[in-house]
Structure 1
Amino acid sequence: MSRLFEKDIGIKIISLFFAVVLWFFVLDSSNPVISYDFNIPLKIENEESLKEKGFVIVNKNFPRNISVSVKGRQNKISTLDVNDIEAIIDLEKIDDVKTKSLHVDVYIHKEGFSIESITPGVVNFELEKVEKNSFPVNIVIEGKPKENYKLIGVSSTPETIFVEATDSVVNSIGEIKVFVDISNITSEMVIQKECVVYDVNGEVLEDEELIFNVNVEVEMAKEVPIVPVVKGKPARNYIDGVHKVSPDKALITGPPDIIEWIDNVKTQEIDIENANQSVTKTVELNIPEGVRLIETPENVYVDVVIEKVAVREFTIKSWDIAIENAVIDGSLIYEIPGTDINISIEGRKEELDRISVENLKPSIDVEGLKEGRHKRTLKVVLPRTVDLLEDYEVEVIIEKKEDLDEG
């Protein structure tokens, strides 16, 4: 009886084995294991950790996609898509600048599948250390200021550029410049400019990592004369002469539409009424609203020279006197009798000493006069600080030319 039972168990085991084999056979026939290739985007992780370690990848020609061959049952493969698979390289795994490659890690977020192949399975790259260095911004002025304008100052913000790049890039930098054209600038102005980076040989470096912008502040001022304002008249027999101011010019700045129309800066009034000696005063400048002084004091020194009136006499010959507005057709003859005319001129002695008869350019105006004897006022050319003591008359004889011919 026991032998029969043992015989039945053996038969049952053999039958079960064949049943399992048959089941797998049927399964493989109706739902076989197959391979399928997926094109998966490559993800780069932990790039910031690379910077923290002081490294940078100098060639980022990573493949955009990875081909992954996945093995699984046919009915399950059809449920799998690219969103269920990840292809990653983890930059945190890099500990040495000499690292040249990383394996691509592929993860399938569904069960029942295996990875048959990954192409490419390794990503190659080159590392360099990140260096930091600072370079001053050298401002290069181009163009010339407009007439009467002066460049007061120029600066950049920031004044120094901190460059963080690969060792080879940082070591190649020679200097950093920014170019500013001041031709049309007439006031304070801030201009944003892009810097130009040069290598150690003076050639321009074209690199996206080396694009820097700075704000350049340009301070321009207009130079105008300072005009002293004097009121009143000196005491009798005294005259005011030279007006000197120190400094004699002012630098001003402000809104361009105001500065453009300012030709001078005036002082407050200096009263010389009844003065009999030179006056020296410190006075304030009258600055228009909205205008500021640059490198110019608000108070200036003004000297007004007061001196006694000097008198000088001149003898004018008749032939020294020019005749103005004579008829141009030659029908009239003009004659000034040969009598000397003595005139007296008063003014500052220094000014009088520089005068000659030729400087006076004596003349009379005969416009509208007919034949006969006439008296006309003598005209002379005088400096501002010099006057004739009185009016002097000159006799002129006018005759028709035909009367002379008949005589």
Structure 2
Amino acid sequence: MLNLLRRNLGAKILSFLFAILFWLFVMNEGTTSALIHEQPLSIPLVASGLPQDMIVMTQLPSVLVRFQGINPSANIKDMYAQVDLSSGEPGERSYNIKVNAPVGTNVVDVQPANIILRLDTVQEKIVPVEALVTGVPAEGYKLGSTFVKPSAVNVRGPSSILSTLTKVTVEVSATGANETIQISRPVSFRDKEGKPIFGPNPNVDILSAFPSTADVIVPVVKKELSSKMVPLKVTSSGTPAQGKILRSLVPSPNSVQVLGTAEALKGFDAINLGPVDITNLAEDKVFPIPNDKVALPQGVSFSQGTTLSIVAQIGQGIIQKGISGVVVQIRNLEKDLELEQPLPPIDIVVEGLPDVLKDVTATQIQLWVDATDQVAGPYANAKVYWQLPPGVSMSTPPQVNYSLKAKVAKGVE
């Protein structure tokens, strides 16, 4: 048996070592994130410290790094390069690249060692929304005037792009349509040539809009008919509950699309809704208005899907508020006269809506008496003039008593 084991001993030992090396190779091949000692690696470059009001306008490349003394247990996911933009400013500038490496791993070489980046400030701009309608409707139908809501949106993005951005678009297809199209679509950004606007990374949006969508109405009517957007007017009857007032009465929507022949629509410029009864109404209320209860000219109709309502907003009525310690001035007093006693501050009562009166103070109110052409002597129940903040009134004019006397010349007793 011993002779059997000794036979070809060198070859057996070599085979055993080879088997171990092969096993290690297979194990490492199964772990895609394991690092191979001293092999150059391509790692991502990330930006850090970028101020909120700035944006990077250059695509960040990968960085080729050669390491030495790599920790066998290190993971490639823990290695990355970064560029510090905390001191960045608009325009092009060179920035140093630093590599984040595991403990015990030395960075031998970095390519590139620095990078030229272009930064831009982030600004906001309000631009109009334009509907881009493509395609043709069904046979025998035509498209009317398109309505977009909202008509403008607030766009946020790089100032260099916003300076040339004149509108945003919403795209709607009318292909084969035989009825009015009502749809909500996201806004898109295009340059003056109609091409989509992309940032340095096409997968990341560089512009954003608020709101990000718009409602589009595209009238689709028979060719013998025309369409028209007509505003709504509303009326009410009755009075709200005691202590309440009608703050506002508004239609919803503000305007609607109507259909009819060109002759029928001629001179038809508004639709009257109501009156709605607000008698004893103590809170806000929405009044649905059936379409068949609205008087339209002969040959005119609402477009499909039209719904109407009137919103009545009810608020607290006029209230009173006492203001103490209001200073009273005397104006236009003759140069040789003076008050025998200073005018003391007085208390007054003002009126107005609760949300207007809540912040009114004595310092916001000016009171004065007019002493034009007055002579020395007493003045009882003198009229007081006032200036009050907007929305504030005074139902009872205040009065004051005062007395004037001649000034005593200096040095004369």
TM-score if structure 2 supplies the norm length?
Answer: 0.35
Greater helix share, 1 or 2?
A: 1
TM-score if structure 1 supplies the norm length?
Answer: 0.36
Which structure is larger by alpha-carbon Rg, 1 or 2? 1
